[in-house]
């Protein structure tokens, strides 16, 4: 029982750390912009491969709660396991001017084109 609790705590810490990094990058990058620009870019694009199972719903909830603490808007898109759809959603969010893009890719090698596209627009991933 004690080992199970420790494992759950470690998993929770990892999740929080994974979601805090993009938020802190966004907040740090916005400090160098003028106030009006930083307010426009104060959003995070969250691309999920799917929301099947308990894990993804929980992680999205943690992410949204932490972003809300910082007053950051999160634009979430779910690809339903379709790589082409996730690529389209990435283009959409980049076009909307998100400040940071968080990608939980459909496949292990499918994030590459999304990362390249975001970097071309000077958006951290």
Q: Which domains does the chain have, with CATH numbers?
A: 2-120 (3.40.50.2300)
pLDDT exceeds 50 at position 110:
yes
pLDDT exceeds 70 at position 5:
no
Inter-axis angle of helices 112-120 and 83-95, nearest 10: 10
Rounded alpha-carbon distances, angstroms, from residue 11 to 14, 21, 28, 92: 5, 16, 26, 31
Report the percent of the chain where pLDDT is more than 90: 37
pLDDT exceeds 90 at position 25:
no
Q: What is the pLDDT of residue 75?
A: 93
CA 122 to chain centroid, in Å, comes to 16
């Amino acid at each position: 029982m004690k080992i199970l609790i420790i494992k759950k705590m470690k998993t929770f810490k990892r999740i929080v750390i994974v979601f805090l990094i993009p938020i802190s990058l966004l907040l740090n990058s916005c400090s160098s912009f003028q106030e009006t620009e930083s307010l426009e870019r104060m959003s995070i694009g969250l691309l999920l491969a799917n929301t099947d199972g308990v894990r993804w719903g929980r992680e999205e909830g943690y992410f949204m709660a932490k972003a809300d603490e910082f007053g950051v808007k999160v634009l979430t898109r779910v690809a339903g396991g379709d790589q082409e759809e996730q690529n389209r959603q990435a283009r959409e969010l980049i076009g909307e001017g998100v400040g940071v893009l968080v990608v939980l890719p459909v496949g292990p090698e499918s994030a590459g084109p999304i990362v390249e596209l975001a970097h071309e627009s000077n958006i951290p991933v």
